Chain A
């Protein structure tokens, strides 16, 4: 569709102007790309990340057979390799955006298992901390190819630019307008590249899925956070992920 591609193109142009000399792929590092000192710490920590045990627990969960003997890998093409970048996608039949986490729950449902809570670190969190690494290196490939899909994309776009909370900020206020500036002691990351690496482990310890990160953002904006897995967040993720199309994924990374 023309509109999403136009949005993505103009966002790229804007950031190219703001941050000359960076390749598009470097945006997956977020604010780290703007600080060699911070990036060096990231690289050092990722050499043998302290949260490797959580990813390992996720692998064990991913490989553990359901009561019917099947496993998660059977629910995805190629055993779940290089698939996460195709999410979220729009499902016309249900008129809903489908996230990777929703596909995990569909897999559980279809195999007669109990679904995971979208905000539950110990199940959905650690499972996706492993399962998404199966798509490391895949380039984001979010598709908006019908007017109905575009309605959801637009809903997400509208969310990203809408001012909310007591501070009257929009996601875009920080991550588009002020990207690269300091907020207290932190460099604000640009909108492009933000969806390529979740879940993240903040302080090398605390797992945050993308939706949990949205919640922390809403708290910082002095707004009441929406639930993880809510339709508003799904639509937001659809727009937000589209902006990162073409960028290489690398999940389960360190953030401060």
Chain B
């Protein structure tokens, strides 16, 4: 099974540059199924949270207009090697996933 998401975190001085990719269809509800011709129901990530050593640094809310397989890049100051960055999300169906990276 492929991973539900990927994370790359790099320290540049005391700033952690974090990039994540989430494998998610981000269905707008406007797309029609190629075979059945029926509209594909809306299915998208609504909320995302990122934490640095357990402290929330970013809270995001998204619409269905964030691209399929969403990409997000954010930066956290005051980071050092060994620190942990965690990112998690929930979609409109209640599906969720999270991932963690240790800075080096």
Interfacial residues, chain A to chain B (CB-CB below 8 A): 47-48, 50-53, 56-57, 60, 204-205
**How far is B4's CA from A56's CA once the two chains are assembled, in angstroms?**
12
B17-31 CB contacts (< 8 Å) to partner A: 19-21, 23
- A50 B2 Cβ-Cβ under 8 A: no
Expressed in whole angstroms, the minimum distance between the Cβ of A59 and any Cβ of chain B is: 10
Question: Number of residue pairs across A and B with beta carbons under 8 Å?
Answer: 28
Please name all residues of chain A whose beta carbon is closer than 8 Å to the beta carbon of B23 when the two chains form the complex: 53
**How far is B10's CA from A47's CA once the two chains are assembled, in angstroms?**
14
- A56 B2 Cβ-Cβ under 8 A: yes
Expressed in whole angstroms, the minimum distance between the Cβ of B7 and any Cβ of chain A is: 10
Please name all residues of chain B whose beta carbon is closer than 8 Å to the beta carbon of A57 when the two chains form the complex: 2
Q: With A48-B20, A60-B2 given, name 12 new contacts (CB 8 A).
A: A47-B71, A48-B21, A50-B67, A50-B68, A50-B69, A51-B69, A53-B2, A53-B3, A53-B23, A56-B2, A56-B3, A204-B67
Q: How many residues of B contact A (CB 8 A)?
A: 12
Known: A48-B19, A53-B23. A205 touches B2 (CB 8 A): no
- 1/0 contact string of B55-72 vs chain A (CB within 8 Å): 000000000000111010
Please name all residues of chain A whose beta carbon is closer than 8 Å to the beta carbon of B3 when the two chains form the complex: 53, 56
Known: A48-B8, A53-B2. A205 touches B68 (CB 8 A): yes
**How far is B2's CA from A51's CA once the two chains are assembled, in angstroms?**
12
Please name all residues of chain A whose beta carbon is closer than 8 Å to the beta carbon of B6 when the two chains form the complex: 48, 52
Please name all residues of chain A whose beta carbon is closer than 8 Å to the beta carbon of B69 when the two chains form the complex: 50-51, 53, 204
- 1/0 contact string of B62-98 vs chain A (CB within 8 Å): 0000011101000000000000000000000000000
Q: Which residue of B2, B19, B67, B68 is within 8 Å of A47 (Cβ)?
A: B19
Please name all residues of chain A whose beta carbon is closer than 8 Å to the beta carbon of B8 when the two chains form the complex: 48
Please name all residues of chain A whose beta carbon is closer than 8 Å to the beta carbon of B68 when the two chains form the complex: 50, 204-205
**How far is B23's CA from A53's CA once the two chains are assembled, in angstroms?**
7
Please name the 7 residue pairs, one residue from A and one from B, whose CB atoms are nearest each other, closest first.
A50-B69, A48-B21, A53-B23, A53-B2, A48-B19, A48-B71, A56-B2
Please name all residues of chain A whose beta carbon is closer than 8 Å to the beta carbon of B20 when the two chains form the complex: 48
Q: Which chain A residue shows the least CB distance to B67?
A: A50
Please name all residues of chain A whose beta carbon is closer than 8 Å to the beta carbon of B19 when the two chains form the complex: 47-48
Identify 11 residue pairs between A and B in the complex whose beta-carbon atoms are under 8 Å apart, listed by A's number.
A47-B71, A48-B8, A48-B19, A48-B21, A48-B71, A50-B21, A50-B67, A53-B2, A56-B2, A56-B3, A204-B67
- 1/0 contact string of B1-45 vs chain A (CB within 8 Å): 011001010000000000111010000000000000000000000
Expressed in whole angstroms, the minimum distance between the Cβ of A45 and any Cβ of chain B is: 8
